[in-house]
């Protein structure tokens, strides 16, 4: 899965530098020169991470981070603050506003990318390229191969994403709406029963290996990937 990174930075040279590095790392870059256009982009589709400059022409990055944290829809988007302010209390203020990490200008592109990867890994494990294993399943996001109890498993792209999401978020119940947001992306107009169709296909694919019971229906709530019966 390619992560969409929203870059909120008003200095064109730094904006271009950020976009260049983000693309080099295989992510998608969405560019915004101020908070107003960043908010428009977020309205269109939720990014997977926001790189947020502190000093912006309309609203400060800190204020915007607070707003994002206060809103149900944007509450969980990882944020990395970018700033020329080096004082400890500024850093504390940024983190208190809800930033996940903080980097000071001038930054080394390498360090910035390492931080982006670390935050994505921590906040959105399904974005990571690492092979995941659980029960008798092994799934590789890079090769798109899955094995179930040693034999290879063929899945459609949506079932693949569902399984990857579940394997990186075990033991938690997700409603159909939450699964749509996480797997299809929010603002995608798909009916909730579509989730049921894909879950059914996923279970059918897992059946021969006896691993279909990992995908549990939680009555009235949604679905859970659980290693416990």
Contact residues for Ca ion, defined by CB under 5 A: 10, 53, 55
* Shortest Å, Cβ 62 to Ca ion: 12
Look-up: residue for tokens 């940024």?
Answer: 94
Give 112 or 132: the residue with its C-beta nearer to Ca ion.
112
Contacts of residue 193, defined as CB under 8 A and 6 or more positions apart, other chains included, come to 176
CB 71 within 8 A of CB 50: no
Q: How far is the CB of 80 from Ca ion (least distance, A)?
A: 14
Q: Which one, 10 or 90, has the nearer CB to Ca ion?
A: 10
- Nearest residue to Ca ion, by Cβ distance, number only: 55
CB of 117 to Ca ion, least distance (A): 24
Which H, E and C letters describe 119-164, residue by residue?
HHHHHCHHHCCCCEEECCEEEECCCCEEEECCEEECCCHHHHHHHH
For 82, the enclosing helix (H) or strand (E) is strand 79-83
Q: Write down the least CB distance from residue 13 to Ca ion, Å.
A: 11
Nearer to Ca ion, 66 or 85 (CB): 85
Nearer to Ca ion (CB atom), residue 12 or residue 156: 12
71 within 8 A of 103, measured Cβ to Cβ: no
Of the pair 55, 95, the CB lying nearest Ca ion is at 55
Coil, helix or strand at residue 110: helix
Which residue carries 């790392």 as its tokens? 25
Tell me, rounded to whole angstroms, the distance of Cα 70 from its chain centroid: 18
Shortest approach of Ca ion to residue 10 CB, angstroms? 5
């Amino acid at each position: 899965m390619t992560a969409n990174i929203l870059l909120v930075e008003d200095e064109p040279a730094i904006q271009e530098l950020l976009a260049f590095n983000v693309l080099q790392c295989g992510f998608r870059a969405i560019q915004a020169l101020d908070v107003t256009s960043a908010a428009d982009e977020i309205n269109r589709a939720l990014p997977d991470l926001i790189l947020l400059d502190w000093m912006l022409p309309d609203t400060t990055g800190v204020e915007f981070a607070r707003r994002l944290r206060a809103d149900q829809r944007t509450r969980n988007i990882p944020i990395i603050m970018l700033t020329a302010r080096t004082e400890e209390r500024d850093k504390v203020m940024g983190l208190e506003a809800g930033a996940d990490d903080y980097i000071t200008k001038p930054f080394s592109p390498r360090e910035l990318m390492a931080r982006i990867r670390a935050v994505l890994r921590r906040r959105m494990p399904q974005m990571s390229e690492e092979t995941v294993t659980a029960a008798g399943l092994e799934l590789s996001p890079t090769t798109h191969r899955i094995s179930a109890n040693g034999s290879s498993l063929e899945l459609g792209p949506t079932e693949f994403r569902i399984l990857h999401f579940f394997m990186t978020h075990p033991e938690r119940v997700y409603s159909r709406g939450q699964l749509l947001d996480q797997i299809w992306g929010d603002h995608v107009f798909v009916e909730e029963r579509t989730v049921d169709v894909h879950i059914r296909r996923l279970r059918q694919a897992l059946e021969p290996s006896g691993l279909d019971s990992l995908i549990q229906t939680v009555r009235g709530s949604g679905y859970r990937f659980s290693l416990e019966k």
